[in-house]
């Protein structure tokens, strides 16, 4: 332990603690723009400078470990003047059209300028208007808003190991951009949106579909159905100032009806359906011993990562579509048939915590209904803005259930939004499918939580099934490298079933979540999903009566020919240079 003082306040912290975090122990928040609690400090912005008695010059608090006996000053006249000068220099080369910026009122630079009392710039504005990158179907990149903090690069390279972004040029010409400045849509970007979540300003944001959805809602000739992902119900409240992880399932349904959607349904329904399809697929592979381990396929960012960097693992992927795409296919077939609606008039909208879902719905194979199965994807942030535009406040909404047919769900579906949730839900039903008995304790806690790669061994009446769970593509890379080495060496892997989610924490950490997210918030959202699971009368996917009905009336049985046509898919090999589909 190290003893020191910060602004005359005595502290004791573990050796190696940087001054930024040591100051928090003393009750002082040192401002910064480049630092993020989930990323390694980089010291790019320099705003966290402090003075240390007896040590010449200013030191960056995020990069400087506190030493024994240090006497640190965090807001001397020199420190305060330097911080203000640095922020003014950033603002002098920043597009400050704040009122039309997507991050208005959520921008860390805007908040810092207000905190430091910067009302007039002492430096002339120098703005060279650069073209905005619209090449991606999911993410827009505006270099005019970029402050070169490097957070996007760090999360893309260190956490996701995708390396779609890098620093180009030097000096005043420095830019954060893609290889050859070709644009995100022509890079290996997997559309996960972690760069968006970690950007402190409005340099990265989702490509919005709000106007198209408004147009569909206002068109009397269209029947607009909406589905909401499991994770949205524990994130939407944050858009309206509610505590992190507030569960707003019923309020969300009520608000969506008042927004003007013709049918308010549930992605959770097709999450239950996914378990039936994927669980049956797992049992088939366990029986045959072929293409094990089976790897889950719900996360579109992970799917593109696999197609780009690990396409030799395609035979191991579950062919089951994600719940979003299963819903889209059924909305324009089964739902249209039952309701007597012309599928050509149905507009299918999904609300997701995920920017990669915008890419997924436009994949060329996602048209099993004869139409584009999902027409538009809105992030949690987008639907929050639409609700505010309509004068709705989620806090004031009553609790209402979703509509019927594609709306009923179990607790197993809800936990899809947390890392390990798909695995847990699958095991709950796989046990029944194999043994004919119900799993007594449905809570499989070894696959829960935010620690690194999680492992568990499930005993299904004497059959040992070893499973693994990874969240973030960096963890997926580590796990797949291990699997590939095992297969090369022994001809098989120690695992039979693997769950991968592209985003840290799973869908509760998706790229479309509310601004200002970190791992602590993601953990709280996940706990709220488990709380809803415990509160529901049905907690196993195979108990969902609407799922049983759709098999009886329409799909026949899990993995039937009709189910394969509507609910299963295939994958492509992609270039590790630009992410494009490779021939063959």
Q: Is 12 a catalytic residue?
A: no
Mark out the alpha helices in 436-540 (DSSP H runs): 473-490, 519-535
Name the catalytic one among 354, 473, 507, 528. Answer: 507
Burial class (CB in 10 A: 0-12, 13-18, 19+), 350: buried
Whether residue 473 lies in the annotated active site = no
Q: Which of 238, 281, 382, 499 is catalytic?
A: 281
Tell me the two tokens of residue 403.
Answer: 């509509």
Do 467 and 279 touch, CB atoms closer than 8 A? no
Name the residue among 580, 575, 556, 550 with its Cα closest to residue 269: 550
Tell me which of 307, 360, 424, 499 is the catalytic residue.
360
Token pair belonging to 222: 């269209």
**Residue 468 pairs with which residues in a beta bridge?**
455, 498
The residues, ordered by sequence, that sit 6+ positions from 508 with a Cβ below 8 Å of its Cβ are 231, 234, 235, 353, 417, 418, 522, 525, 526, 529
436 CB-contact burial (10 Å; exposed 0-12 / middle 13-18 / buried 19+): exposed
Catalytic residue flag (residue 354): no
The residue assigned the tokens 């019923």 is 250
Q: How would you label 304-334 residue by residue, b for 16+ Cβ within 10 Å and e otherwise?
A: bbbbbbbbebbebbbbbbbbbbbbbbbbbbb
Catalytic residue (choose from 321, 332, 357, 521): 357
Is 51 a known active-site residue?
A: no
Give yes or no for a contact between 208 and 386, defined as CB atoms under 8 angstroms apart. no
Residue 552 annotated to the active site: no
Q: Which of these, 12, 8, 29, 11, lies nearest to 20 by C-alpha position?
A: 29
Tell me if 293 sits within 8 A of 268, measured CB to CB: no
Distance from C-alpha of 549 to C-alpha of 551, rounded to nearest angstrom: 5
Query: Which among 138, 187, 249, 318 is annotated as catalytic?
Result: 318
Beta-bridge mates of residue 2? 13
Confirm if 80 and 12 have CB atoms less than 8 A apart: no
Helices (H) and strands (E) in the chain, counts: 19, 17
Residue 58, classed as helix, strand or coil, is strand
End-to-end Cα separation, the chain, in angstroms: 60
The one catalytic residue among 156, 195, 298, 361: 298
9-13 and 346-352 strand pairing: unpaired
Q: 405: helix, coil or strand?
A: coil
3-state secondary structure of 453: coil
Instruction: Confirm whether 527 is a catalytic residue.
Output: no
Please identify every residue annotated as catalytic: 278, 281, 298, 318, 357, 360, 365, 507
């Amino acid at each position: 332990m190290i003893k020191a003082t910060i602004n005359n306040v005595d502290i004791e912290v573990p050796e190696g603690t940087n001054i930024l975090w040591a100051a928090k122990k003393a009750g002082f928040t040192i401002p910064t723009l480049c630092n993020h609690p989930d990323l390694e400090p980089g010291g790019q912005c320099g705003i966290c400078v402090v003075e240390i008695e007896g040590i010449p010059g200013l030191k960056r608090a995020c990069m400087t470990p506190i030493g024994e006996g240090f006497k640190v000053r965090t807001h001397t006249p020199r420190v305060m003047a330097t911080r203000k000068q640095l922020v003014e220099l950033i603002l002098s080369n920043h597009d400050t059209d704040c009122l039309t910026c997507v991050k208005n009122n959520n921008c860390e630079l805007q908040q810092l300028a207000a905190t430091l009392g910067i009302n007039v710039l002492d430096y002339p504005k120098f703005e060279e208007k650069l073209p905005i990158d619209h090449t991606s179907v999911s993410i827009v990149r505006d270099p005019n808003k970029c402050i070169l903090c490097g957070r996007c690069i760090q999360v893309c390279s260190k956490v996701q190991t995708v390396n779609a972004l890098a620093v180009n040029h030097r000096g005043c010409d420095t830019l954060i951009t893609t290889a050859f400045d070709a644009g995100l849509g022509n890079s290996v970007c997997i559309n996960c949106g972690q760069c968006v979540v970690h950007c402190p300003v409005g340099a990265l944001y989702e490509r919005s579909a709000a106007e198209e959805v408004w147009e569909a809602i206002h068109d009397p000739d269209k029947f607009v159905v909406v589905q909401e992902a499991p994770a949205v119900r524990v994130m939407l409240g944050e858009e309206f100032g509610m505590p992190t992880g507030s569960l707003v399932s019923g309020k969300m349904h009520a608000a969506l009806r008042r927004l003007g959607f013709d049918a308010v349904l549930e992605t959770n329904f097709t999450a239950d359906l996914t378990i039936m399809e994927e669980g049956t697929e797992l049992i088939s592979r366990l029986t045959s011993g072929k293409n094990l381990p089976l790897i889950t396929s719900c996360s579109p960012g992970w799917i593109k990562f696999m197609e780009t960097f690990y396409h030799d693992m395609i035979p191991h992927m579950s062919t089951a579509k994600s719940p979003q795409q299963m819903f889209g296919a059924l909305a324009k077939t089964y739902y249209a048939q039952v309701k007597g609606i012309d599928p050509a008039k149905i507009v299918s909208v999904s609300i997701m915590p995920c920017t990669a879902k915008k890419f997924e719905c436009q994949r060329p194979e996602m048209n099993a209904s004869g139409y584009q199965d999902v027409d538009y994807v809105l992030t949690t942030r987008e639907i929050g803005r639409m609700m505010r535009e309509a004068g709705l406040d989620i806090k004031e909404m009553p609790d209402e259930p979703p509509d019927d047919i594609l709306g009923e769900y179990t607790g197993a579906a809800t936990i899809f939004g947390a890392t390990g949730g798909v695995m847990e839900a699958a095991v709950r039903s796989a046990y029944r499918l194999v043994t004919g008995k119900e799993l007594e304790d449905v809570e499989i806690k070894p696959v829960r939580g935010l620690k690194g790669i999680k492992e568990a061994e499930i005993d299904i009446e004497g059959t040992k099934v070893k499973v693994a769970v990874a969240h973030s593509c960096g963890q997926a890379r580590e796990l797949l490298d291990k699997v590939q080495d095992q297969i090369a060496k022994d001809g098989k892997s120690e695992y039979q079933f693997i769950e991968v989610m592209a985003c840290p924490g799973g869908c509760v950490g998706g790229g479309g979540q509310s601004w200002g997210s970190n791992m602590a918030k993601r953990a709280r959202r996940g706990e709220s999903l488990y709380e809803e699971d415990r509160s529901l009368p049905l907690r196993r996917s195979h108990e969902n009566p609407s799922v049983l009905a759709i098999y009886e009336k329409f799909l026949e049985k899990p993995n039937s020919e009709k189910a394969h046509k509507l609910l299963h898919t295939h994958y492509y090999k992609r270039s590790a240079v630009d992410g494009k589909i490779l021939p063959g």
